Structure 1
Amino acid sequence: MSDVARLAGVSTATVSRVVNRRYGVSASTIEQVRAAIEQLGYESSLVATSLRSSRTNVLGLVTHSFQSYTAEVLKGVMDALSQSGFDLIIYANSDLYGTYSDGWEQRHLARLSGTLTDGCIVVTPSREVRSGTPVVVIDPARGSAVPSVTADNFAGATAVVEHLLGLGHQRIGFIAGRASLEAAWSREEGYRTALAQAGVPIDPRLIARGSFNPESAAPLARALLDRPDRPTAIFAASDGMALKTLEVAKGLGLDVPGDLSVAGFDNIPESALAEPGLTTVDQSMYRLGYEAARMLKSLVRGDWDGPGRLVLPTRLVVRGSTAAPGKCP
């Protein structure tokens, strides 16, 4: 309410009268308040809800889009909230992998925080988020100081590259994720560190920059595999991008893992169903959601005494998509 009042240049009492459609407010002032509500992303019904109670006993989950990763996270969130007295509202963009202006996380939080919800979980935001109510981030932006839960992305990436090196691969391509995310940066660092520790030179031409969007991996994988000195293995920073790499390789007539080994990161359900099954890193998406919800509940209640960031262990899952190098390119 105070944000709307400040932007509109009126009192919170005036904002209350406008959102509750009470008399005594001029037409010009109503327009000012409505414009402020629109600019900040508030919905009047949500603002009115917050006026009736200081606590809603509702938590929010804000995400860019709904996909396998988010669904697994949600399972953990729901289990953590079971019989807790908190309900959950989910706010997701309807345009899967669509492009829209930066700052989506902040706009969604403005609509929910302190109005309909007592606190929010934000999944993989592209930048730092701010809110007047507690927020916990899953996979934070680089440099974020907001309470967060993440996997040990560096250790997971190091393990999968060491696995490929152990099979005999020397030319290992890498398809990176969204650069603004700490997880993407840590996975690339793990890739680079594993190669350096094995004495394998890092070839910048084998590093391609995606966005975690599976479709972003298609042209990148094709460019790597069209090279005369193509890699014998590709590690993609997410399962979605790895599965797209499998698809591209098959379309080029390459056998996996005979001609090319492919590995991912996440261990989404589809990775086990692929043909061949995808070697990947299990970051326990369920646990990410569970721990984020557990932290948020305590922050809302004021009794959280744990660290500001929880880092969960990862586990290498070896399946049929990786093997010793086969035919020479």
Structure 2
Amino acid sequence: MKKIKYSLLLVCSITLVGCFGSDTTSSSSVDRMIDNPTPNEIKVIIDGNELNIPAKSSVNYTFEYGKHTLSYGNQSLNFIAKPSTTNSSGLINPTQSNYYLLTTFYTTSNVSDETYDKLIAKYLNSVPVIIKGEQQELELPVKVINDVFIERQKDFWDYSVDEPYPDEVTLRGKGQFQSRKIKLFREDGFIEALKAEGLNEKVDFINEHPKFSELKKYTIPNIQLDAITCKKGREFVETQLNDWNKLFTLTGKDLALLYKQLTSSETFHTKHAIITECTKAGDSNQSYQFATRELEEAFDETNQLNFFITQ
């Protein structure tokens, strides 16, 4: 297969950007852009409400915390809108179109092409495309995503689809000479960026995605409470499971308050303090620790997200 290497060299300086969490309990909803990058108008149905989104445009929509339904074409899915433990943003992609996370480096003027190539090398991926009717590969510093819910805290970017790369940024810190930056592109914009870098052939990117029914769904772990030999540990895990199940029925600020409680430092410290008590009480098989580990693995993957798909 033919491979074309793509390298974007920007000679400039760098700025470091910080990200801070906020108190989400004062809100009862989350705003999110629903994007339509296709050449045709689409109809999306949210909780029975029809939204007609013109070609190559988007609409902003407010989702109250709680359970919702999204339908597009002949497919539907259920999802929960909730607070996240950090500031989060993103977009909703009902058409499951390809979006592109392009990595580049801003560097000082004394950085050679050879040094830049070394910096970018570990971000290169072979991306399947169609050129002149044949499947080939482009070697690009890009990640292709087509999730329905594209969230910045899962697939991080510095610049969103409607934000251009700045001409330069400010470098801070002695000895700094480069900084990695990531931009999220719609497909049309990404192809234009490739053309600007000298790619003259017509390229069609391959889009492969699962059906709505095949998407990963979030479920509460099935923990056998009777297997937890420590009484206090068993009571704590039972309370946690009951509270997490309430997230599927609560709405608005009620959901936000419960979510804050579940993800609070107090809950974390209580959970770990019980480990010591259960050990002293003779939980030699660490049944409580195994149960809480199951909870952590199930819940941690959604903590920084505003949306997750459910049954």
What TM-score, normalized by structure 2, do the two folds share?
A: 0.26
Structure with larger RCO (C-alpha < 8 A, sep 6+): 2
What TM-score, normalized by structure 1, do the two folds share?
A: 0.25
